[in-house]
Every structure is written in structure tokens, then in C-alpha cells.
Chains A and B, each alone.
Chain A
Amino acid sequence: MISLSHVYKTFVANQHVLQNLQLEVQKGEMLFLMGPSGAGKTTLFKIMTGFEKVSSGSVTINNFEINQLSSRQMALFRRSIGVVFQDFRLLNDRTVFENVALPLQILKLNKWDTLEKVESILNRVGLSKKMSENPEHLSGGEKQRVAIARAMVHSPKLIIADEPTGNLDWKLSGEIMQLFREANQNGTTMIIATHDQELVKNEVNKRVVKIESGRVYEDGGKQPCGQFFAPLSEAGLSIL
């Protein structure tokens, strides 16, 4: 489903943000992309969503070769994925309903199908009673649930989330992870970039990929998290 091969990304000459990054993600996987700030997670996130181009290497997602896409094809590719941000990125001049309906409008779905799908997803995230409210009046957790609803409303095969719980407390983070888990159980491939180890600890059937200095430092495969963090911590310490 996702294949990153020999990916390099350089912003300043000879300073690689990503170097020789290799990653394969299978359909239906739930992958946590972990690493400290500056490790290259956000750059990787931008590359996977087509907002940055790789300096060299190839990125294939959903059979789209990201580097080769025209602007029109790029728009089509983005319609096949869902994206969640740490800072929610909601439009404050539109209602919760309008925010969630945005991808369906882009897909030119008719009014009734849009209504049905948005109501259904807002029910799932527990915000059906707030669909006519402005996002400004929602709590942080609610905002993130709206963002997740927007990412899932068009049933994408892949959801990419960049620090989705970064601005939330542990309780709200748990709620958000529950939504991701449900989406994953329904067959959606999930890639979640985070530096929050606590968030990953309790997840089962997950794959954790650790990035340090722009490389895949460790690819945990599908295994419990406890076994995974000990060597990572040591590695981190040795780098420091």
C-alpha cells in the first residue's frame, strides 16, 4: 500500500532531513511513526501527503507515485486519503457539519448522500448534537474529533495523522485513539506520527517505527510496545 524507497530530503545543501529512508506499510496496518522533535516525522508526513517533494528516492501510496503526479492527479490522490493535524486545522467560519462535509463537497457528492454520511460519522465520533456549532466553541478534544470525522467521512483507505493528540490531555488522547482503533478495525490503514510513548504503550496489533536523524532507526513490526521502548531509549541516550 505504501512504499518509501531510498528517500532523501534536503532543505539545505548536505543537511539531510531524511536520509535513505525505507518503509513498507501493508494494507490495514496501524503504524506509529515515533521519534523526537526534529527527527523528520513532519517532513515525512508532508512527503506522504504530497506537500513536499523528495530530493531523491520514490514514494508510492495507493498506487500513486507521489513524485510523478501532476497537480490534478495530486488533488485526486489527496481525495483518497484522510489527514489529521495536531492543530486540528478546522475552518472557524464554517459549522462542524460544513467542516466535516468538505471532502464530500470536493468529491461532488449530492446533498442527501453528504447529509447521510456526515450525520453518520458525527454520530460515530459523538458530535451529532454539535453539527451546527462553530468549531471555535468546541473543546480541544471535540475539535480533534471533528478533524478525525473530516478525515474519515469519505471512507479513505489511508489516514495519516501528525501528532493527533499533541494538544490533548491523556483522557482525550484515549478517546481519540479509540476512534483510530475503530477506523483501523474497519480496514483503514493508519499512520500516526507521535512522540508520545504513553499513547503507543497500550496499543495491540500495532507497528512502531522509530525515526532518528531522518532514518528508520528501528522497525518494531507488530509487537507489544513494552519490548520496543527499552532499546529505543538506550539508542536515544547513546546519540545524546
Chain B
Amino acid sequence: MWSIFCTIKRSWSQHFVEQFSAFIILLMSYTALLFIALALTNVQNMFEMWGQVNQVTVYLDPAIKAEDKNEIMKSLDANPMVNSFQEVSSSESAKNFEKRFSKVTSQKIDAKEVSQFFPSYFVINLNQAMAYSAGGTVLDDFAAQLKTGFEAIKNVSYGKSWLRRYIGVLSAINWIGWFLIFSFLIASVIVSSSVIKTILFSRRDEIEILEFVGADDSTIYLPQILNTIILASVAFVGALIVNYGIYLQFKSSSVSMIDASIQNQLSFITPGTFLLIALLAILSVALYSVMTIFNLLPRRKKALLVSEVMR
């Protein structure tokens, strides 16, 4: 262990500039990568909030009978998803329209005259706001259940079309975000591989001497792999701190800028996402380090190692 530490220390003293540059590039890559993850998390939160549905409108047949209406009301009363509901008659519906119409034009309409064109409906307040993703299918099922259960129900509306659009946009954002995260991961492994190549190239005489005195591959190459893993880990922790700083700064400075409800939705990267990215970042760097070292080995040694692994 001590000799590994000494080798890493020597490597840093001999190749400080290369290693420090690699550290900065890794730090920048990981910062960008975590920032994308942070942005992705919060965009997702925003969309979840905007995409929440807590009201469903059930449009009734104009010729609905009183007993059918009672049946529907009983059914809604018994439904665990329904918190409360209220009936809006066709005349009330027409009045509501009249009010809205008066805001956009000076022309007047008589609600009584047009009420025949407006169906009566129920406004249902749901127990729990349904988000766009998992809630989408629940709402679909709820609507289908009502429509098939009662002939007098003509339509059930809960903003289905814009909900679908949101899902499309969010999934595109997710794809772009993960694509960028993987691009930065690839950039980081290429950087670490270049540093390993540079260091091993400058150490080639030392490596040959170590081989001559009987050092095995782990003694020679393990410090280099460990050094790269440590470098990547420290850069990752640094990137995490930078991103947490950005998050705190944004959260505290955004009070006046954005709505409080939106501010409450802001959150840092979830531990699951963070662990996934950390594992991907550090494992990819470690794996690529091993591959880089393997590719740099002389052909006879490569063949020997391959045959040993195959055995």
C-alpha cells in the first residue's frame, strides 16, 4: 500500500501539469454532466407540477333523465378518487360563457338564448392531483370507466391533448439530457486515457526496469489505475460541490423571480441519479484505464494475458 502511495506521489511530482490539467478537465466535464442532471431533475419537477390534473369535467347528454343523473352522482360519491363534485347546468354553463365572452368583445349575448348549445356537466375535484406520467393511465382508466358505465355521459375531459404533448417534450428533454451526460462521460474517459498514455510513455524506462527486477503487472500498473480513479473521484466530488453551490445560489436568489410554488419544486439531484452517474463516471474511467494500459502492453504480453484469462 505504501509503495502504491509512493508511486502515485512520484507520478504527481513528475507529471503535475498533465495530472492537474486532467483534473481540471475532469472537474469541468463532471460539473457540466451534473449540471445537466440537476437541470433535468428540476425541469422534470416543473413539468410534473404543470402537468398535474386535479379536476375532471364530465359532460352530460342534454336529454339526460333525472334517474340517470342520480345514478352518476351515486357512482361518483362512491369513487375513492373523487373528493367532491358539483353540477353545472346548461344555463350556468351559458352564463359562464357569457362572462368570458364579455371580456373579449363589447357585443352582448343572451345566456338564456344560447343555453341550449351548452351541455350540463359535473366538475369533479380529485382526491389527489395526478401527474402526467403515472397519473396519465389512471385518468384514462377513470374516464373510460365513466364513459362505458353511463350512456348519458358524452365526454370526459382532463386536458388529455396537452398532457400528451408534455409527455413528449419531457421525454425529448430526458433523451437530450442523457445524451449530453454520456457525451461528457466519454469525454472524461478520453481525457483520463490520454493522461495515462502520457504518463506511461514517460515511465516506459522505469516500467522496463521494474519488469527486469521482477515487478508484476499489478505492482507496475495498479498505482496508475488507482491514481486515475482517485483523480476522477476527487473531480466528481468537486463537481458535486460546485453544483450544490449553483443550486443553493439559484434557490436563494430566485425567491423574487419565480413563484413560490415553483421554488418549492426545486430540488437537488436525487441520490439515485447521483449514485448512477457517479458509478458510471468512475467505473468508466477505471475500465478505460485498464483498457488503455492493456492496449499499451507489448504484443507478446497481451497474448500471454489473454491466454491466461481464457484459461
Contact = CB atoms under 8 A, between A and B. Distances in A.
Given A71-B216, A103-B213, A105-B3, A89 B301 contact: no
Interface in B178-229: 205-206, 208-217, 219
A63 interface: no
Given A78-B211, A102-B213, A103-B214, 19 more contacts: A53-B300, A71-B216, A71-B217, A71-B305, A71-B308, A75-B217, A76-B214, A80-B214, A83-B212, A89-B209, A89-B212, A91-B205, A91-B206, A91-B209, A102-B209, A102-B210, A106-B214, A106-B215, A106-B219
Nearest to A77: B214
A79 B214 CA distance: 5
29 contacts: A70-B304, A71-B301, A71-B305, A71-B308, A75-B214, A75-B215, A75-B216, A77-B214, A78-B211, A78-B213, A79-B214, A80-B214, A83-B212, A83-B213, A89-B208, A89-B209, A90-B209, A91-B205, A91-B206, A91-B209, A93-B10, A103-B213, A105-B3, A106-B210, A106-B213, A106-B214, A106-B215, A107-B214, A150-B213
Contacts of B216: 71-72, 75
Which residue of A53, A71, A76 has the most chain B CB atoms within 10 A of its CB atom? A71
Contacts of B171: none
Contacts of A70: 304, 308
A43 interface: no
Contacts of B305: 71
Nearest to A160: B212
Contact of A89 (B10, B205, B214, B215): B205
Nearest to A108: B3
Interface string B63-86: 000000000000000000000000
B14 interface: yes
Interface residues of A, number: 25
Interface residues of B, number: 21
Interface of A: 49, 51-53, 70-72, 74-80, 83, 89-91, 93, 102-103, 105-107, 150
Interface in B255-305: 300-301, 304-305
A193 to B, nearest CB: 15
A103 B14 CA distance: 22
B301 to A, nearest CB: 7
Contacts of A49: 212
B179 to A, nearest CB: 40
